């Protein structure tokens, strides 16, 4: 079995367990740490705790549970999050203040601390740096995910590996996702923080499944430094590549999804303007349902772009559709040139790509999402029962 993610990084050991809906993962690695968190005002207890602990810029371990979000649980929830770090600290022989914590699952329920304590003790006994440990770890944090999400980027002199969970309640500013990314590059706390923020902005913050922003989103990056110093530009590009891989996997595994939807917007006055248009298109229910039905109703793409709040001339815009192998023009500088039979054929596979040129500048951005199916309603109509 080949390495797929974090255990390929020097200095990292991990393990996890899943019992029904309830899982627990432990990752052991000491190093410089940075984090990004949900923009939702209703932040979960572990997020409130981590926003404080990450200020030290160093972590020795991470504990994460699935099945209960420990969100909207007040002071008891915060105290329980602290207790989780104490369980991990005791089991691994590290200071609890240097333990990262994350939770995912149902909002408004308290943690089953006896279960977590037992699982933590069992998982801690078998931390390894094997490919199978990667898989156990990522499966421990899955909720409605159908697929485990791994990413591995190897460069000359350093490695970056990460795992993530995320399937529903996904929107810009992150969305019910946990990501744990490790590197053996040597990085200071401030440059690591800024690099992670930039990578998140261009990847995780451009994923939309359903437009809901979660209470528990967290992405942590820990640098063990065991491979020494690296060039900042090379590390930044590699981290963005790792995060992009995880982001696309989250989009493709959206709840009930049958197709990955990718939208690239070009010809924008600024990168953020391009990203804004791409996100509005990605989150449009009309676009998403048309993709599901393999209906080449490209007018929905133009209409969504027009309400994004970015100034451009619709009569100067151009639009293409692609399945990743073949690309067909739909509109050229405001003129309709679509071959609907070819456009429909481009929607038959598991990936649909739109490329929109606004004709208003030179910047571009890409966002990812998925189609909207009946299965999404089934999953979320019975999520807590």
3-state secondary structure the chain: CCCCCHHHCCCCEEEEEEECCEEEEEEEEEEEEEEEECCCCCCCHHHHHHHHHHHHCEEEEEEEEEEECCCCCHHHHHHHHHHHHHHHHHHHCCCHHHEEEEEEEECCCCCCHHHHHHHHHHHHCCCECCHHHHHHHHHHCCCCCCCCEEEEEEECCEEEEEEEECCCCCCCCCCCCEEEEEECCECCHHHHHHHHHHHHHHCHHHEECCCCCCCCCEEEEEECCCCCECCHHHHHHHHHHHHHHHHHHHHHCCCCCCCEEEEEEEEECCHHHHHHHHHHHHHCHHHHHHHHCCCCCCHHHHHHHHCCCCCCCHHHCEEEEECCCCEEEEEECCEECCCHHHHHHCCCCCEEEEEEECCCCCEEEEEEEECCCHHHHHHHHCCCC
pLDDT exceeds cutoff 80 at 21: yes
Residue-level pLDDT at 172: 42
Average pLDDT on 249-275 reads: 90
Residue range 79-111, pLDDT digits in tens: 999 999 999 999 999 999 999 999 999 899 999
Q: Is 176 a catalytic residue?
A: yes
**Average pLDDT over every residue of 351-364:** 96
Mean pLDDT (the chain) is 91
User: Does pLDDT of 288 surpass 80?
Assistant: yes
pLDDT at 212: 46
pLDDT of the residue at 25: 98
- State residue 167's pLDDT score: 61
Q: Determine the Cα–Cα distance for residues 33 and 192; give it in Å rounded to an integer.
A: 7
CA distance 281 to 221: 30
Active-site option among 176, 183, 213, 215: 176
Average pLDDT over residues 288-314: 93
pLDDT at 383: 57
Q: What is the pLDDT of residues 226-254, one digit of tens each?
A: 999 999 999 999 999 999 999 999 888 87
Instruction: Take residue 69 and report the two structure tokens written for it.
Output: 């979000």
Mean pLDDT of 357-361: 96
Q: Residues 344-360: what's their mean pLDDT?
A: 95
- Can you tell me the mean pLDDT for 364-383? 78
- In this predicted structure, what is the pLDDT of residue 281? 96
The stretch 346-371 carries a mean pLDDT of: 94
**Residues 195-219, mean pLDDT to the nearest whole number:** 79
CA distance 131 to 129: 7
Answer whether residue 380 shows pLDDT above 70. no
Q: What is the mean pLDDT of residues 212-236?
A: 89
Higher pLDDT, 304 or 373: 304
Confidence band, pLDDT 50/70/90 cuts, at residue 40: confident
Residue 174 — very low, low, confident or very high, per pLDDT cuts 50/70/90? very low
The pLDDT score that the predictor gives to residue 258 is: 86
How much is the pLDDT for 211? Answer: 46
pLDDT over 50 at 170, yes or no: no
């Amino acid at each position: 079995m080949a390495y797929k993610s974090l255990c390929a990084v020097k200095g990292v050991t991990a393990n996890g367990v899943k019992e029904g809906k309830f899982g627990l993962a432990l990752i052991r690695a000491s190093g410089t740490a940075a984090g990004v968190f949900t923009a939702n005002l209703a932040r979960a207890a572990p997020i409130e705790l981590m926003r404080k602990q990450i200020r030290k810029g160093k972590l020795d371990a991470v504990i994460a549970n699935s099945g209960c979000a420990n969100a909207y649980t007040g002071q008891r929830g915060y105290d329980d999050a602290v207790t989780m770090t104490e369980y991990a600290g005791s089991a691994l022989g590290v200071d609890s203040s240097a333990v990262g914590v994350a939770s995912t699952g149902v909002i408004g329920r308290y943690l089953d601390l006896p279960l977590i304590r037992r699982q933590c003790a069992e998982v801690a006994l078998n931390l390894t740096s094997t490919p199978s440990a990667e898989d156990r770890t990522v499966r421990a944090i899955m909720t409605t995910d159908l697929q485990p999400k791994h990413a591995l980027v190897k460069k000359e002199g350093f490695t970056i590996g990460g795992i993530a969970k995320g399937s529903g309640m996904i929107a810009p500013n992150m969305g019910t996702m946990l990501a744990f990314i490790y590197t053996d590059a040597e990085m200071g706390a401030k440059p690591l923080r800024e690099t992670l923020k930039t990578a998140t902005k261009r990847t995780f913050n451009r994923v939309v499944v359903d437009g809901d922003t979660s209470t528990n989103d967290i992405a942590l990056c820990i640098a063990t430094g065991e491979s020494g110093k690296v060039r900042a530009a090379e590390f930044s590009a590699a981290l963005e590549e790792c995060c992009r891989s995880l982001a696309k996997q989250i989009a493709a595994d959206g709840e009930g999804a049958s197709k990955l939807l990718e939208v690239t917007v070009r010809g924008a006055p600024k990168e953020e303007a391009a990203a804004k248009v791409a996100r509005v298109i990605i989150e449009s229910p009309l676009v998403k349902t048309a993709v599901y039905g393999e209906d080449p109703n490209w007018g929905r793409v133009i209409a969504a772009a027009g309400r994004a709040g970015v100034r451009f001339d619709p009569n100067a815009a151009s639009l293409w559709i692609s399945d990743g192998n073949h690309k067909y023009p739909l509109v050229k500088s405001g003129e309709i040139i679509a071959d609907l039979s070819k456009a429909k054929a481009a929607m038959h596979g598991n990936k649909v790509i739109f490329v929109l040129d606004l004709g208003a500048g030179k910047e571009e951005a890409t966002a990812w999402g998925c189609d909207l199916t009946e299965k999404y309603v089934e999953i979320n109509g019975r999520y807590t029962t």
